Chains A and B, each alone.
Chain A
Amino acid sequence: MTAHRAIDWTQQAQRVADNIRRRVFEHVMKNNGGYLSQACSSAEIFAALYTRIMRLGPSEAPLIPPPFAGVPGPHNPHYISGGAYNGPRAPQYDRFIFSPAHYALVLYAALIEVGRLGESALDHFNQDGSTVEMIGAEHSPGVETTTGSLAQAISQAGGIALGRRLKGEPGRVWVLMTDGEFQEGQTWEALAALSFYRLDNVGIYVDVNGQQCDGLMASVMNVEPLCARLETFGARAFEVDGHDLEALAAPAELAPDGRPLVVLARTDPTRGIPLLQERAPELHYLRFKSAEERDRYQAAFEALVKEG
C-alpha cells in the first residue's frame, strides 16, 4: 500500500514538474528571453516541496495577485505578503523561504500547478505595476522574505526557525537555495549559526546545477566538495539526484537529529529542453542572439507542448 501511494504522489509530482518547465518556457518565449535553465534544473525540487515535503495550509491570497500596493510595514494596511500564497502562519504549518529570487517565474509556475495561483496571474508577469515581478520581493506570490541579494534567505530562515523554537512551534522552515550562494560568506556564517544553535527545524534544498551568471561555477569560483564542506560545518547533508522525486523527498522524512538538514539536489540545467545544451556553459539568462535562434526555441517549445 505504501508503495502504491508512493507511485501516486510521484506521478502527480512529475506532472507538476513537467508543467512547470512548459509554462516557464512559454513565458520566456512570450517575454523574448528570461531565466529558463533554472526551470529545467529545479522543476522537480519545486514539485517535491509543494506536493510532498512542505506541510502548508491553503493559500490565503487572491488567485490573481492585486497590483503592487507599496512597500511592507506596519503603516501599509493594503500590503499582502507573498507568503500568504503558502498558507497561514500557524504553529503546526511549515514555512517556505525562497532564496534565489531570479527563480521567481519557476515559483509562480509551481504555485499555479498546485492551485495556489491562477493561470492568468502570469499575464501580469514582468508587467509594470504588478507584483508578479521577474525577480521577486516579498510582495511577489509565494515569496515571504526579500532575498534577491543572494544568501540573505538562510540567515532570515535561521532567525525564523529560532523564533519558532522559542515559541515551541512544531512547524519546520524550508529554504530553497542555489549552489552559487555557497560562494557568499554569509551562507557559511549562517550554517555555523544553524549548527551552533542546533536548529534542526530548518531544511535547505539546494539546486546544485553548477551554473552561475558568468558560466560554469567550477570555472568562476569552485565550491566543491560541497557535501563534505557542509558536513564539516555541522550540517546533516545528503546528495541526491535532483530529478528523482523520491530521492528528493526521502531526507525530509527522517526524524530531525539536532543538525540542520541540507539536501544537495544535483541537477541538469538543460533537463527537458536539450536545445539549451548548445548554449552551455552560458545558461544563466536566455537572451536570443538572432531571430533564427528564437524560431528554433519557439519550435522546441511547440514540440514540448505536443509531447505533453
Chain B
Amino acid sequence: MEIVIRPHVENFIKWAADKPEVVVLSADLTNSCEVGKWRDTYPERFFSMGMAEQNMMGFAAGLAREGFEPWVHTFAVFIYRRPYDQLAMSIAYPNLPVRLVGFLPGITTPGGVTHQAIEDIAIMRATPNMTILETGDATEVETVLDAAHAVRDPVYIRMLRGEVPRLFSRDEPMALNRARVLSQGEDVTIFTAGITTEEAMRATAALKTRGVSITHLHISTHKPFTDPAIAEAIAAARHGVVTLENHTVIGGLGSAVAEIIAEQGLAKKLVRLGLRDTYAHGASRHYLMKAYGLDASALVRAVEQLIGQPTGVTESDLAEVRIQPVHSAAKAEAL
C-alpha cells in the first residue's frame, strides 16, 4: 500500500492556481492544516484570523457574499463546536459557498477530548443546506477539492493529513453522493467512511478466505445520502448490515443507514460500530481504534454476530492482510 506524505500541501496549491476566487482563512493552525506553503505561495489570498473562530465564520460569510470562495482551514472541532451559531446563521442559512475543511476528525488526534470531533457529522447532518464530505485516502484528499468546488452551497469536509494511505486508484476521483463499492457479496453488507475503510478492507479480505462473502461500500458523501447503491446493498444483505464509523454511533453513518433501512422498509438487522455514546481520550489512533472497537477486529466480531457463527478470523490473520489500491467495483456496473 502506498503511503502519501501530506497530500494536501502541493495538491491544494496546484489546484488553486487558476482559481483566483479561492481564498483561505485560518485560525492559528496553518501548518497543522497543511496550508503553510499555500499561504507563502498566495499571500494576498490568505487571511490569518487568529484564534477567533466565531469571527472567522462571519468573515468567510462576508467574503462569500462578495463572490469569493473561502476555504476555512482549522481542526474539525473548532468548526462546529465553538462557532456553531455563526456557522448556522452566517453561513448555512444564507446558503453561502464556504468550504469548511475540518482536520483531525474523530479519534485521529491524540489531542484528547478537546480536539476529537466525534459528533460533527451528526450536527452537520442536522444543519440545513450543509453538504458533508469525508476523505478516506490520498486520492480523496486530492479530489475532494473538485467535489466541494462544484457544490454551490456550504460544504463541510472531514480532511485527512500527514501520512495518508492511497486506497483508491488515482483515476477514480471522489464523486458527490456516490458510494464506492469495494467488494460484493451476499452475506453481510458493510458501510465505512474515512479511516475505517482501510480497517474494513483488512476484515473483508480475511473474511473472504473463510468463506464469508461481504459487500463493502465506502461512503465519502454523508449528506446528501441518497445514492441508490446504498439501499440496494442493504437489501441484498442476507444476514444484515454493519456500519463502522470514526464518530459516535448516534447521528452519523450508522444513523443514516438506519434511516434508509426504516424508511424503505428493508427490514435488516443493523450493527453500528463507532464510539458508543462516549467521549474518548488522548492516545494513539491505533490504541483508540482498538479500545473503542473501531478496528478490523471489531468488524469481524460484528459480522460473526450477524451470521450467528464464528469465522475463525484471528488478529494475526488481520495483521497479515496487505492492502492494495482498488478500483471501485461500481465502475463495472457504470452506476
A-side residues, CB < 8 A to B, are 71-75, 137-138, 145-149, 152-164, 166-167, 185-186, 189-190, 192-193, 196-197
Q: List 6 A-B contacts (CB under 8 A).
A: A71-B93, A71-B128, A73-B153, A159-B65, A162-B59, A186-B54
Question: Contact between B58 and A155 (Cβ–Cβ < 8 Å)?
Answer: yes
Residues on the B chain within 8 Å of A154, using CB: 58
Question: Contact between B63 and A73 (Cβ–Cβ < 8 Å)?
Answer: no
Given contacts A72-B94, A145-B90, A161-B62, contact A189 B67 (CB under 8 A): no
User: CA separation between A73 and B130, bound complex, in Å?
Assistant: 12
User: CA separation between A72 and B152, bound complex, in Å?
Assistant: 12
Given contacts A73-B94, A149-B89, A152-B89, contact A163 B67 (CB under 8 A): yes
Most buried by A among B54, B64, B86, B153: B54
Q: Is B146 an interface residue (CB 8 A)?
A: no
Residue from A72, A149, A155 in contact with B59 in the complex, judged by beta carbons closer than 8 Å: A155
Residues on the B chain within 8 Å of A158, using CB: 55, 58-59, 62
Q: How many A-B pairs fall under 8 Å by CB?
A: 110
Question: Contact between B86 and A155 (Cβ–Cβ < 8 Å)?
Answer: yes
Contacting residues of chain B (39-69) with chain A, CB-CB under 8 angstroms: 47, 49-50, 52, 54-68
Question: Contact between B68 and A163 (Cβ–Cβ < 8 Å)?
Answer: yes
Residues on the B chain within 8 Å of A196, using CB: 50
Residue from A71, A163, A190 in contact with B66 in the complex, judged by beta carbons closer than 8 Å: A163
Given contacts A138-B94, A156-B90, contact A192 B52 (CB under 8 A): yes
Question: Contact between B94 and A145 (Cβ–Cβ < 8 Å)?
Answer: yes
B85 to chain A, nearest CB (A): 5
Question: Contact between B153 and A146 (Cβ–Cβ < 8 Å)?
Answer: no
Given contacts A154-B58, A186-B86, A193-B50, contact A159 B63 (CB under 8 A): yes
Interface of chain A, helix or strand or loop or mixed? helix
Residues on the A chain within 8 Å of B60, using CB: 159
Beta-carbon contacts of B283-315 to A below 8 Å, as 1s and 0s? 000000000000000000000000000000000
- By Cβ-Cβ distance, the 5 closest A-B pairs, closest first, are A159-B62, A155-B58, A163-B66, A73-B95, A189-B55
Q: Is B108 an interface residue (CB 8 A)?
A: no
Q: Is B129 an interface residue (CB 8 A)?
A: yes
Contacting residues of chain B (122-145) with chain A, CB-CB under 8 angstroms: 128-129
Q: Which residue of A lies closest to B65 (CB)?
A: A160
Question: Contact between A155 and B65 (Cβ–Cβ < 8 Å)?
Answer: no
User: CA separation between A75 and B67, bound complex, in Å?
Assistant: 17
B118 to chain A, nearest CB (A): 25
User: CA separation between A190 and B61, bound complex, in Å?
Assistant: 13
Question: Contact between A189 and B90 (Cβ–Cβ < 8 Å)?
Answer: no
Given contacts A73-B95, A145-B94, contact A159 B61 (CB under 8 A): yes
